[in-house]
Structure formats: structure tokens, C-alpha cells
Structure 1
């Protein structure tokens, strides 16, 4: 999930109006990044993913922009403190580290922060 978060940040930072090709992130190889881009696309967080293979190896991949849901999720986990709290809750409660669980916890943490900020 940390790699997924990093990919979302990278797309947000670099995407202008055309697909991004062969995203690179320090400490991750192209296969790891491409696979996680694929699952982000399947989860509806990015709007496009395409990969091309040659000789049974990844040759090239590209991704599109973040979707509305992708922006929404990234905004909820943007702050390192929030993201670390999400991961801690998942670990402490022995929950599965899935996108849906992370989104639910991040949403709940945001709701608590908003209530505190509004003195409700």
C-alpha cells in the first residue's frame, strides 16, 4: 500500500494531459510499479493503464490521470501522520490491508478530525 500511495503522488505531480510512460520510483523496479498501477486502475483510482510485453517481459507501460476517487483517497491519506495512523490501526486491529479498509479508516479519521475542528 505504501507503493500505491507513492504512485498516486507521482501521478498527481507529473500528469498534465497525456499518459505517463514508465513511471519511476526510487527503490522499486518497473515490474513492481507496473503491477501496482494495474491494480490502482482496477480499483478505479487511476483512469488508464496499458502495458506492452516482449519476449515474456514487460517492455513498456503507461498510466493516465487520477480519477475523482483517486484524488479523494489521496487527499484523505496525504498527510504522513494520517497515513501512519491508518497503517497502525490496521496492524493493531489485525485487519486486512486492503484498499477498502484503508479508505474506510482514513474516512473515519477525517470525520473525527472534522468534528474536533468544528467542536461538535
Structure 2
């Protein structure tokens, strides 16, 4: 969460955590065989932050607390059902679609829900 959204603050990191947990529970398309957090995180090309300096730093108490909140069911808009997010850049509008449909934006991250026909069961 830190390596993907540190600049978005605690709430931004929680939203990224929502996406991770959503991918664990989703039963559709590319997420059908990702049933653990570790499988989701290390899925090929899933997260740009994997392997960065922020990735290798130890999580602090607050970061652990945020992760546990997501694991224990915390969800918030615009990432309540989101399976994807992207950072198009400062002052750049979110594309209406990016794998899924735009659910909303928080700071620089755009969050995307799966299309209904995917039957992801979120």
C-alpha cells in the first residue's frame, strides 16, 4: 500500500488496500486464480510499486493497522468494488474506462470497477 500510494496519505493507502482485497475475493477473469494477498501482489505486472525502495522498507505500525483494516473488511468509495486503479498524472482527467469502468478518483488515483458482465461477485 505504501509503495503504491504513500503520497495519497492514509486514506489513499486504504483505497489501494481495497483493490488488493477485492482482487483476492473476485471470482472473474484474470483474478480467478488469485486467492491470497501474496498471489495478488506478485501477479505479473499487477503493481508498479513491487520491487521499489518503498517496497523493501519495513512497514510501520500505522501501515500495518491500515492493512489489517482492509483485511478485516474496511471498504470506501471510490474503491469499494474497484479491481483496478491508475495514476494518470497531476491534473490529468481519469479515462472513463481502464479495464473496468471509472468509479471515481481520490487525489491522483482513478479507481475502476469491473463491468457487470464479468460477474466478479464483489
Normalization by structure 1: what TM-score?
A: 0.29
Q: Which has the higher contact order (CA 8 A, sep 6+)?
A: 2
Higher helix share: 1
